[in-house]
Amino acid sequence: MKKVITYGSFDLFHEGHYHLLKRAKALGDYLIVGVTTEQYDESRGKLNIVDSLDKRIEHVRQTGFADEVIVEDHPGQKAEDVQKFSIDIFTVGSDWTGAFDYMKQYCKVVYLERTKNVSSTIIRTQQYPIIRIGVIGSGRIATRFVPEAKYVSGVIVNSVCNPCRNSAEKFSERFELDLATDDPMVLLDAVDAVYIASPHETHYGYAKQALESRKHVLCEKPLAFQKKEAEELYALAAAKKLVLLEAIKTAYCPGFVQLVGIAKSGAIGRICDVEACFTRLADKKRRECTDIKYGGGFTEFGSHTLLPIIKLMGTDYQELRFDSILGGNGIDLYTKASFVYENGMALSKSGVGVKSEGQLVISGTEGYILAESPWWLTQYFEVRYEDPGKKERYFSKFLGDGLRYEISDFVAMIQGHQNRAFKFTAEESVAIAGVMERFLSNRQSGKQ
Ligand code: CTP
């Protein structure tokens, strides 16, 4: 019996897939089809898969050509499968010509001619009109956003707004955008969605203005410095059926999503304590160190450290206390925020003027999870137990600057895939705004 194997995402199943499977089956007697998981696709840069794995498998089965369907979830699996299933022929479409020549050491490799003018990417683009994004603010983070958006299909960054027109124009020239303006209303007229990357204290105002103009909003952290402002924004977005997402990029990256899943699976027993630290020594002349009202370690990096705390311990803490080391101008060089929960506790450490070990430790009744610096770009973490010999290691890809993951989820949600919202919910974002509010009100009243 001649055994054939082929692989693909088979998203939005189309005639090109059908023809490929038909001809693959005709190459032998028994056809195995490997369908990729969403996570594997993400790790190789395919960020916009629409159909679920179940649906994609079902579509392959319905053709009647596959004698067996398997799931492909890691690099190197093709070579394993070919040996494990004693495959005679490995085949894929001609768009891959040459890419799998290395498989010739195991079996025959056949590149089948690709069906012209059809692909999942073309269908995705037709089904979902391209989303035009305008960037508000043109500072450091905005310069990372535009190149990252290029990795996500279905979006185009077309414009930029900055009250300083010259900065907007420079930014627009650098990234070849269509429009540079100092007037947010002009930008809002030209887009379907905005990415807000302006100074922190302006986030709420711009987000509100964009939502009122019926535009989707991806807003850099912190979304708001007051709980009621964040609540108001989410209520406004819900009322107008718009997507509002706070851009804490860690929340959307595959490694962190896996870490949260494992922590919540019971692998370390009941979670009792979360300790998260993020410090970066900042230039004394920069906004982080000079902005007396909104600068400092906690407003700068607290969103990062609060994320795992709020996600794993919940939004319902009983006590919250801040201790800070202040600079001469009153901004916090280093802040510890200590939480007490009904069944546990948590500690956030953040700083712009004190350096510490940037790690995330999640402690449970059976073991703990350790994610070392830079845990916020989650690529690796360990699950450890009482027995030091027992250690589970988890690796995950984190591509580029990582902003592509939040952009991909933002786009998917605009396209109606609300099931992505679990990665960082409105309730969690509101809770973080509530913590920020407590911190700033303590600062104002001199309680720190
Ligand atoms: N394929 C084909 N003809 C097409 C499209 C795909 O023969 N017009 C083949 C691919 O070469 C591959 C298999 O179908 O062997 C599964 O491809 P997949 O990557 O899932 O489909 P694409 O439509 O190419 O997806 P995308 O646009 O996301 O890259």
State the DSSP string of 40-79: HHHHTT-----S-HHHHHHHHHHTS--SEEEEE-STTHHH
CA 59 – ligand 1 centroid, Å:
14
For ligand 1, say whether the CB of 202 is within 6 Å of any of its atoms. no
CB 59 near ligand 1, within 6 Å: no
Question: In degrees, to the nearest 5, what angle opens at C-alpha 146 toward C-alphas 143 and 148?
Answer: 105
**Mutate-to-test residue for ligand 1 from 20, 25, 49, highest number of ligand atoms within 8 A of CB:** 20
Inter-CA distances, 125 with 97, 120, 320, 405, Å? 25, 9, 47, 19
Task: Tell me the C-alpha distance between 91 and 21, whole Å.
Answer: 10
Is 91's C-beta closer than 6 angstroms to any atom of ligand 1? no
How high is the pLDDT of residue 64? 97
Residue 242: Cβ within 10 Å count: 19
pLDDT of residue 125: 83
pLDDT at 418: 77
pLDDT at residue 285, as a whole number: 87
CA–CA separation, 57 and 34 (whole Å): 9
**pLDDT value of position 444:** 82
The per-residue pLDDT string of the chain (448 residues; one tens digit each, 9 = 90 and over) reads 999 999 999 999 999 999 999 999 999 999 999 999 988 888 777 888 889 999 999 999 999 999 999 999 999 999 999 999 999 999 999 999 999 999 999 999 999 999 999 999 889 888 888 999 999 999 999 999 999 999 998 899 999 999 999 999 999 999 999 999 999 999 999 999 999 999 999 999 999 999 999 999 999 999 999 999 999 999 999 999 999 999 999 999 999 999 999 999 999 999 999 999 999 999 888 888 888 888 999 999 999 999 999 999 999 999 999 999 999 888 999 999 999 999 999 999 999 999 999 999 999 999 999 999 999 999 999 999 999 999 999 999 899 999 999 999 999 999 988 778 899 999 999 999 999 999 999 988 876 6
**Closest protein CA for atom 12 of ligand 1:** 93
pLDDT at residue 12 in the model: 95
| CB proximity list for 336: less than 8 A, separation 6 or greater | 322, 323, 324, 347, 348, 349
Which pLDDT score is estimated for 275? 98
pLDDT score, position 315: 97
Q: Tell me, what's the pLDDT at 127?
A: 87
> What is the residue with the minimal CA distance to atom 9 of ligand 1?
93
- To test the pocket of ligand 1, the residue of 14, 120, 151 to mutate (highest count of ligand atoms within 8 Å of its CB) is 120
Q: What is the dihedral of CA 133, 137, 140, 141, to 10 degrees?
A: -40
What is the Å distance from ligand 1's center to 367 Cα?
Answer: 44
Contact (CB, 8 A) for 435 and 230 = no
Phi, psi of 55 (to 5 degrees): -65, -40
